Amino acid sequence: MATMTELSPTAGKYSQDVQGDEKLSPGKAPSLCPTRYGIAFITHLCNFIIVAQNIIMNITMVTMANSTNHQSQFNSSTEGLPVDSFDDPNNSPKSLPAGAPVYDWSPQIQGIIFSSINCGVILTLAPSGYLAGRVGTKRMVGAALLGSSFLILFTPLAADLGLGFLIATRTLQGVSLGLGYGGQFALWERWSPPNERSRLCSIAFSGMMLGSCIAILLGGNICQDLGWPFVFYIFGGVGCVSCLLWFVLIYDDPVTHPWINITEKEYIISSLAQQVSSSKQPLPIKAMVRSLPLRSLCFCSFSHQWLINIMVVYTPTYISSVFNVDIRDSGFLSALPFICAQVVGILGGYLADFLLTKNFRLVTVRKIATVLGSLSSSASLVVLPYVASSYITAASLRTLSCGPSLFSQPGIYINALDIAPRHSSFLMGASRGFAQISAILAPTVSGFLLSQDPEFGWRNVFSLSFAINTLGLILYLIFGKADVQDWAKERKLTPL
């Protein structure tokens, strides 16, 4: 009979040399619609909401802020996102719906507003993974998603109350989003059989790109048709509805799930049969800090997230400033690469699991996925400014840059489940928290580069992104591992 100890947050313990699936699972779960995939799709929806609520300010800012004097302010600013998509008088905020307030925020102030949410995320990513493994993913993520949705609904009022209220609201929202995002990692320690881990995690995490896609695609249209406040009202409302689905359909492990097929439950339990509870195992912080595989994983995650942030945050601005495209067209064109990334992310997970069945070593699969998700994306991005005169070519390169980026999901982003399954929820949150620092540094550094060199600013931004991403990739290829580290193995207590 399965116990909660058997399903504790230490799933994923299997060797680096994977010789097919025979040793990983005793058999297949003959279910037409397995519950674990339902869990993955609900988590996919959760990630969709988390990321959409995170980035909608990037879309609405071009209509929230008075842009009539942005250029002069931007030239004197060393941080903040360049919002110049309305420099064309034909695209000025006067064409927006009456009643939508416009604020006199400089690009420097806008940079602070953008960064404030990431400060909250960084503070909670690492502890959220650790806490979720103990208090339960269902309660933590559900409460975090509900809190973020209410704060999104409050954002238009906070902007009216003043800049301080808005920054405080954004910071609190970041805390909620960090708890929701980091807290879900513990779910896959209990629900994912090792030979299906890549595809299940890829299905769940690909919701992030879908959130970016939908927010960018619909945000501009909602701003022009209804006014920017309705972007927050709509995505906040969708988040509240999603909370209901989460609380009803998500359970922390197969044992407590009331509707799971008995055969599937036994399949998952037997796949994770050798794990033991980590509740009495302290976190080996010193060993973690000294671990080269963990360091390389964290820095590669940071460098890849730098690339992702440049693509997500600067895509609407780049299109608007270079091609003078209307906000509706900018939204559609900006969303197209994320549609491709959504598909690539899911297929990449299936590809990784397929390679494992063909006797590829686990570390080889992780590194192949990371190379596919990093090198081609950064190379396409660095070429983009040189073909700015060709609209079609530039749009194609943007798609080629963003599309393959989610190949990294079954690579670096789930590698913590391999090297330290006993502490993976904490490490996945900590590595994502470290990577999230790029969400603060990338807009600040890029804003400085664009303000210092208006002519070649975009080339400098994309070239720096390529250099950082390549360096992180090289370090991971040299030091990355996929076998359980010594400090992550069970330590037996000796009697005094």
pLDDT tens by residue, 395-426 = 778 888 888 888 888 899 889 888 888 788 88
Distance CA(85)–CA(268), nearest Å, equals 51
Q: Which of 107-116, 409-418, 433-442 has the lowest mean pLDDT?
A: 107-116
Percentage of the chain lying above the pLDDT 70 cut:
79
pLDDT tens by residue, 43-53 = 999 999 998 99
The reported pLDDT for the residue numbered 23 is 39
Q: Which of 67-71, 84-88, 216-220 has the lowest mean pLDDT?
A: 84-88
Distances (CA, A) of 251 to 35, 99, 198, 246: 10, 44, 20, 9
- For residues 206 and 345, is the Cβ–Cβ distance under 8 A? yes
pLDDT tens by residue, 239-294 = 999 999 999 999 988 988 898 889 988 888 888 775 544 445 678 889 999 999 99
More confident residue, 397 or 11: 397
Distance CA(6)–CA(178), nearest Å, equals 28
Query: Is residue 309 scored above 70 in pLDDT?
Result: yes
The reported pLDDT for the residue numbered 153 is 94
Residue 291 is given by DSSP the state -
Distances (CA, A) of 42 to 47, 109, 138, 442, 445: 9, 36, 12, 31, 36
Q: How would residue 99 be classed by pLDDT, with cut points 50, 70 and 90?
A: low
Distance CA(25)–CA(273), nearest Å, equals 10
Q: Which two tokens stand for residue 311?
A: 């693509």
Mean pLDDT of the chain: 79
Average pLDDT on 144-170 reads 93
Residue 103's φ and ψ, nearest 5 degrees, are -110, 150
